[in-house]
Amino acid sequence: VKKVFEIFLGVLTAIGGFVDIGDLVANAETGARFKLNLAWVVVVGVIGIIVYAEMAGRVAAVSQRATFDLVRERLGPGVGLVNLAASFFINLLTMTAEIAGVAIAMSLVVSVNYILLLPVAGFLVWFVIWRLPFGAMEKLFGIMGLALLAFVVVVAKLGPDWGSVFHQASHPHVPSDETPFTYAYYGIALFGAAMTPYEVFFFSSGAIEEKWTAGDLNVERANVLIGFPLGGLLSLSIMLTATLVFAPRNISVDQLSQVPLPGAIVAGKLGLAALLLGIFGATFGAALETALSAGYTVAQYLGWQWGKLVRPNDSPRFHLVIMAALVGGVLFAATGVDPVKVTEYSIVLSAAALPLTYFPILVIANDPEFMGDKVNGRITNFLGVIYLIILLLVAVATIPLMIITKAGA
Amino acid sequence: MMARSIYAGLSLLDRQMLDRDGVLCGKVDDLELESSPDTGQLYVSAILAGPGVLMYRLRRRRWGEWVQRVNRLLSAERGAGGASDPARIPMSMVSEVSEHVQLAVDHDDLATSAMGHWVRRHVTSHIPGSGHKAES
């Protein structure tokens, strides 16, 4: 029974943890602008994150080694350092966007400019990392993020014609007022939002924080196989509400505060409250994950003691990196930089950097010295290689597309 | 005693080091090689580990020297100046080489811990709760 509970909680947290500010913004934006013509990208992204999160979690559970530990050992210190610098920078952008998301969600409740709430949001994130045990932290914000399921209720209340929804989603085309370049650019944004690298840094380090071993692989698989698809379902609901509410009125989404508006339209105050709670939980959870990931990546590259299992005094540098990242993120957001733009850049640049994270995982997951008989099976390897090719193509195309489309303008 | 032969570049470099209590204490940043006077064969005489060492290996010699100097100052501040060079870990202190490198020393005596000590003394220990594990 304990095991069932464990899986249940894990799945809940995976749903809450999958959707973050990147998914909220990218799905609402593309729904409003491209209707359901990019829905297939969400499905491709969810399968990709399932394949690689399962691999990273399995490697961590079996070998007790987290992703960046392996990155340094497999790629060497030089390439590893370049990888660390790129991953750390993109993660910092993502964290900035998440903290801004937390502050915006709070500002919609208390009617204070969100910039004034940024230090509060940053402090709360630090305080939770400093004081709350790993499991409690994951569960609390995962379950809060579940309030986003209200998007599914909103979709049901809007009552779309399901036949035409499936027809639209399964017959994608470039809308007549868009170019193939903008279409591809927003496709990459959605893909990057689904496969953001910090999810893997956090999942693999979290497996070690939760003391998973080879015996916990069933829990690990259940988390991945149920949690991420349900997270994908949430993403699609967000896209669908935007398609149904914003697209017919030619409203483009350029602020986070627009995302929960469909809830207010169909379900009134209660719907709006649920969605705001969900946005708060999802962005706060992701702010925690990205801030921790800043510490995880640096500490694992340099071999420092890390994690929430030891006293902060026993992992001082790990905590210092997290504090520095949070201060940097809050200051950057406080310059008044547009949080939606920061989010867009973070997910698109994530997409460009994906091979850096996922290639070493694929290599290690095939190494019997680390994995024993828990190496990748044939199907996993087949999917892993296919996705690696997709990741490389996306990485090559991202920057040129960014230039051609003027970042999706 | 017959030394074990391994591919030092593959099995030692960049591996995670654990101290005698299992505390993570840095990576194998570089190796010191000596040639045996009898046979002329090269063998690994010591592990070199610490922030400056890694910069040396990445061909940033000046930065490396600078960081090592800071590191030595930090070690001296703690009064741990006993060992001639805390960044040098003789192979006799290595108890096991597997997916990680197990050392028979305390992490407090290694160069890799010096900056951590500084951060603990000047930053984290001043914040309430730093001496407690996060409890549920």
> Which pLDDT score is estimated for B98?
83
CB contact at 8 A, A121 and A102: yes
> Which pLDDT score is estimated for A14?
72
Choose between B77 and B57: higher pLDDT.
B57
> Which pLDDT score is estimated for A322?
97
**How close B119 gets to chain A, by Cα (Å)?**
6
For B131, which of A63, A133, A313 is closest by C-beta distance? Answer: A313
Q: How far apart are CA A49 and CA B119, in angstroms?
A: 36
**How close B101 gets to chain A, by Cα (Å)?**
11
CB contact at 8 A, A42 and A232: yes
CA distances from A383 to A36, A44, A75 (A): 25, 11, 22
Average pLDDT score over chain A: 92
CA distances from A326 to A40, A123, A294 (A): 35, 8, 9
**How close B38 gets to chain A, by Cα (Å)?**
33
Rounded to an integer, what is the distance from CA B80 to the centroid of its chain?
14
What are residue A357's phi and psi, to 5 degrees? -85, -45
Residue A55: CB partners within 8 Å, gap ≥ 6?
A361, A362, A365, A376, A380, A384
Rounded to an integer, what is the distance from CA A41 to the centroid of its chain?
15
> Which pLDDT score is estimated for A252?
92
Residue among A29, A50, A354 nearest A230 (CA): A50
> Which pLDDT score is estimated for B108?
84
> Which pLDDT score is estimated for B135?
56
Partner B, chain A 323-342, Cβ-Cβ below 8 Å: 323
Subunit contact A77:B136, Cβ cutoff 8 A: no
Q: How far apart are CA B30 and CA A295, in angstroms?
A: 24
Tell me: the pLDDT tens digits for B61-100? 888 788 878 777 776 665 544 456 778 889 999 999 888 8
Chain B CB within 8 Å of residue A310 CB: yes
Q: What is the Rg, in whole angstroms, of the alpha carbon atoms belonging to chain A?
A: 20
Mean pLDDT of B45-54: 87
Looking at chain A, the whole-number percentage of residues with pLDDT higher than 70 is 98
Partner A, chain B 37-96, Cβ-Cβ below 8 Å: 51, 54, 57-58
What is the 3 state secondary structure string of chain B? Answer: CCCCCCCHHHHCCCCEEECCCCCEEEECCEEEEEECCCCCCEEEEEEECCHHHHHHHCCCHHHHHHHHHHHHHHHHHHCCCCCCCCCEEEHHHEEEECCEEEECCCHHHCHHHHHHHHHHHHCHHHCCCCCCCCCC
Residue B8: pLDDT band with limits 50, 70, 90: low
Q: Which residue has the tokens 């087949």?
A: A382
- Residues of chain A under the 70 pLDDT cut: 1, 9, 12-13, 16-17
What are residue B45's phi and psi, to 5 degrees? -95, -25
Tell me: the pLDDT tens digits for A303-358? 999 998 889 999 999 999 999 999 999 999 999 999 999 999 999 999 999 998 89
> Which pLDDT score is estimated for B1?
43
Alpha helices in A246-365 (DSSP H): 261-302, 316-334, 339-364
Chain A CB within 8 Å of residue B21 CB: no
Residue B118: pLDDT band with limits 50, 70, 90: confident
Which residues of chain A are within 8 Å of residue B99 when distances are taken between CB atoms? 63, 65, 369-370
CA distances from A157 to A25, A53, A163, A289, B136 (A): 22, 34, 16, 33, 40
Subunit contact A65:B27, Cβ cutoff 8 A: no
**How close A278 gets to chain B, by Cα (Å)?**
24
CA distances from A229 to A8, A21, A234, A239 (A): 14, 18, 9, 15
Assess whether pLDDT exceeds 50 at residue B121. Answer: yes
Q: Which helix (H) or strand (E) holds A8?
A: helix A2-18
For B136, which of A65, A133, A323 is closest by C-beta distance? Answer: A133
> Which pLDDT score is estimated for A332?
97
Quote the tokens at residue A114.
């969100």
